[in-house]
Amino acid sequence: MSTTLAQRLLQALKARGATEVFGIPGDFALPLFREIERSVELPLYTFSHEPAVGFAADAATRIRGGLGVAAVTYGAGAFNVLNAVAGAYAERVPLVVLSGAPAAHEATSGYLLHHQVKTLDSQWRVFREVTADAARLDDPKTAPQDIARVLDTALRTSRPVYLEIPRDMPARPCEAVPFTAADAPDPDALAACADELLQRLHAAARPLLMAGVEVRRYALEAKVAELARRLSLPVVTSFMGRGLMSDAPTPPLGTYLGLAGDPDITDRVEHSDALLLLGVIVSDTNFAVSSRRIDLRHTIQALDGRVIMGHHVYPDVPLDALIDALLQRVDRPLPSGAATRAPAASAASAPTPRAADAPALPMDIADAVSALMQRHGTLPLACDVGDCLFTAMDITQAPLVAPGYYAGMGYAVPAALGMQAASGRRPIVLVGDGAFQMTGWELGNARRYGWDPIVIVLNNASWQMLRAFEPEGRYNDLGTWDFASMAAGMGGDGHLVRTRGELVAALDTAHATRGRFQLLDVRIAPDALSPTLDRFVKAVKRLSMPGA
Ligand code: S1T
């Protein structure tokens, strides 16, 4: 019995770290789905709407490493998953899109085919714009090399890729998929880069390391933590990098949020004379509300396979090779002194404990989740866009997946399901009511797969983050949806929460209940912002009004 093209593809995905396939079939993808189910190489999980398929596959790879896999049908299915793929591209996620497609004889039938847009190549052209590589597997003889090239590009660039599979191909006999060898960086250039970088750090009075998403994407957290330890180099994370190295022996001092964040962290970043940006995307969400514009010429940027120092660039220095070269060279701490902890919040600044019957606020959610983790250990977090993400900045540092840069809503609930599928760990979800309206219903798929996330809905009856900028916009009003009452119909338990005391009690009950998702519908006054979002909004308004 020969091995099929689909089996070879699944074996190649598994060999590159994939542990499951998320998908929704369609007639152009039925042969592929049949082979996926028959081959038992990777479990297949289906969702209700393709954005969730993409978000789950994205989060699976963020939390576990390796490749994430989203399988969809041609046209209506593929265009539905497109926004999730765009977000994966922006946020450096190695997501593999498998799309069914018309068979060769259909493509030449002379008919316009169902699901077709402008031409049969329209989808191919659109996906080329949001992926690092693509292949059409229309020939079993060339498929092994094409699959190897595309999947290894995904891992090497940490970007999504696209494989289009005509429906007469999955069951065709096919040879094994090889691995492609990555070109090793020039050893002299790598040595020169590492030597210069260490010289700059040793010459600095206030060196600082900022860890960004590539440190997670290339599985370098332990090595970067070891490098910082040997150098006695203080570490912070970017906004997108929140949660990185949270389980390191010395976790980061905190997260850089400019004017919206901890003034000590802001001072360290903005006054560093050797800011080492490791895998940090230089985006507005990471740097927009700086109190003083960081002169990137005085930083050391290692991103996207190159290192920029001052006015010169080392063009081919992958982050993993750089970290290894630095570790080989470090033999003494930096003269700038030991990595000091950020000053602990003084007792005077410690918030006064609020009455249990006080209306629940975003900060109460941060405090309650932090307290839960202190009692029971770290739980991975999945956050959506909105004040929930700013609220998460005040939670104890823990592994966090969130669309912090592309900022596509509807991410967190499907992402949590993907995280639990890939890691087996129970996640906590923070999501606003607006984002929950988009994809919260995917919780209905949790029971049949045994997933049981704890979902905290910040139900402020509005698109509050937008209202913070446009208070008079009535279009931001959403009305109050009774999400707690809807949980049972989807196979979970709902908890209506109005006060701080009810929040703490509901979270304890939710944590103690396994096998059913738990939905905390936390009613929050529309004008109640997290402290971080409040500072962010004020900073943006101040910086966007010249002379403000
Ligand atoms: N649609 C999608 C898919 N993603 C988006 N980011 C937006 C629209 C724009 C947008 C925001 S924040 C926000 C929207 C609509 C409101 C979020 O409302 P909710 O989930 O209830 O959270 P909260 O009330 O905490 O704001 C970003 C700025 O572009």
Chain segment 70-117, per-residue pLDDT in tens = 999 999 999 999 999 999 999 999 999 999 999 999 988 888 899 999
SS3 of residue 220 by DSSP? coil
- Ligand 1, pocket-test mutation among 49, 411, 466, 533, most atoms within 8 A of CB: 466
Measured in Å, residue 368 CA sits from the centre of ligand 1 at 24
pLDDT of residue 543: 84
Q: How confident is the model at residue 346 (pLDDT cuts 50, 70, 90)?
A: very low
pLDDT value of position 68 = 98
Question: Which pLDDT score is estimated for 108?
Answer: 87
Angstrom distance (rounded) from CA 274 to CA 272:
5
Q: Which atom of ligand 1 is nearest to the CA of 463?
A: 18
Q: Which two tokens stand for residue 6?
A: 């689909």
Distance CA 232, CA 331 (A): 11
One-letter amino acid for residue 247 of the chain: D
Helix 319-329 with 221-231: angle, nearest 10 deg: 30
Torsion of the alpha carbons at 528, 427, 370 and 264, rounded to the nearest 10? -80
**Ligand 1 atom with least separation from CA of 458:** 25
| 395: enclosing H helix or E strand | none
Residue 454: what residue type?
A: I
pLDDT, average across residues 322-350: 72
Tokens matching residue 355:
């009455």
pTM: 0.96
Mean pLDDT of 283-296: 81
Amino acid at 525: A
What sign has the CA pseudo-torsion 477, 480, 484, 489?
A: negative
* Pairing, β 312-314 against β 306-309: antiparallel
Measure the CA–CA gap between 442 and 120, rounded to whole angstroms: 31
Helices (H) and strands (E) in the chain, counts: 22, 18
CB neighbours (10 Å) of residue 482?
11
User: Cβ of 413: how many Cβ atoms within 10 Å?
Assistant: 30
Considering only 136-145, 293-302, 499-508, 517-526, which range has the smallest mean pLDDT?
293-302
**Amino acid present at 410:** G
Q: How many residues are there in the chain?
A: 548
Place 350 in a pLDDT band, splitting at 50, 70 and 90: low
Percent of residues, the chain, with pLDDT higher than 70: 96
d(CA 414, CA 445): 10
Provide the Cα torsion 136, 139, 145, 147; round to 10°: 40
Show the domains of the chain with their CATH numbers: 5-166 (3.40.50.970), 187-340 (3.40.50.1220), 362-537 (3.40.50.970)
Burial of 106: CB neighbours in 10 Å, binned 0-12, 13-18, 19+:
middle
Among 55, 409, 456, name the best residue to mutate to test ligand 1's pocket (greatest count of ligand atoms within 8 A of Cβ): 409
Quick one: pLDDT at residue 340? 53
Residue 182 has pLDDT above 70, yes or no: yes
Q: How far is the CA of 521 from the centre of ligand 1 (A)?
A: 18
Asked if residue 212 has its Cβ within 6 Å of ligand 1, the reply is: no
Dihedral sign of CA atoms 55, 57, 61, 66 in order: negative
What CA–CA distance (Å, rounded) separates 394 from 373? 13
Interhelix angle 319-329/187-203, rounded to 10 degrees, is 60
Buried b (16+ CB within 10 A) or exposed e, 317-355: bbbebbbbbbeeebeeebebeebeeeeeeeeeeeeeebe
- In this predicted structure, what is the pLDDT of residue 436? 98
pLDDT tens for 277-289 read: 999 998 888 887 7
Beta bridge pairs of residue 313: 308
The span from the first CA to the last CA of the chain, in angstroms, equals: 74
- Using the predicted structure, report yes or no on whether residue 273 has a pLDDT greater than 50: yes
> In this structure, which residue's CA is closest to atom 29 in ligand 1?
407
542 Cα: distance to centroid of ligand 1 (angstroms): 22
Atom of ligand 1 nearest to the CA of 533: 25
Phi, psi of 361 (to 5 degrees): -120, 160
Distance from residue 363's CA to the centre of ligand 1 (Å): 19
Cβ of residue 405 lying under 6 Å from some atom of ligand 1 = no
Sheet of 68-72: strand order equals 44-46, 21-23, 68-72, 95-101, 161-166, 134-136
DSSP 406-434: T--TT-HHHHHHHHHHHH-PPPEEEEEHH
Catalogue the E-assigned strands of 421-509: 428-432, 454-459, 493-497
- Whether the Cβ atoms of residue 209 and residue 276 lie closer than 8 Å to each other: yes
pLDDT tens across 478-495, in order? 999 999 999 999 999 999
Distance, in Å, from the CA atom of 72 to the CA atom of 122, rounded to the nearest integer, reads: 16
Our mutation pick for probing the ligand 1 site, out of 85, 283, 385, 393, counting the most ligand atoms within 8 A of Cβ, is: 385
Task: Pick the residue whose CA is nearest to atom 24 on ligand 1.
Answer: 464
Q: Which of 108, 97, 58 is nearest to 418 (CA)?
A: 58
Range with the lowest mean pLDDT among 28-42, 344-358, 379-393? 344-358
Q: How many CB atoms lie within 10 A of CB 203?
A: 13
Distance CA 446, CA 449 (A): 6
Regarding the beta carbon of 86 and ligand 1, being less than 6 Å apart is answered no
Cα distance between residue 461 and residue 470, in whole Å: 15
For 363-375, the pLDDT digits (tens) are 999 999 999 999 9
Give the side-chain half-sphere CA count within 13 A for 452: 11
Strand order in the sheet with 274-278: 235-237, 207-211, 274-278, 299-303, 306-309, 312-314
What are the pLDDT digits (tens) for 198-250?
999 999 999 999 999 999 999 999 999 999 999 999 999 999 999 999 999 99
> What are the tens digits of pLDDT across the range 439-472?
999 999 999 999 999 999 999 999 999 999 999 9
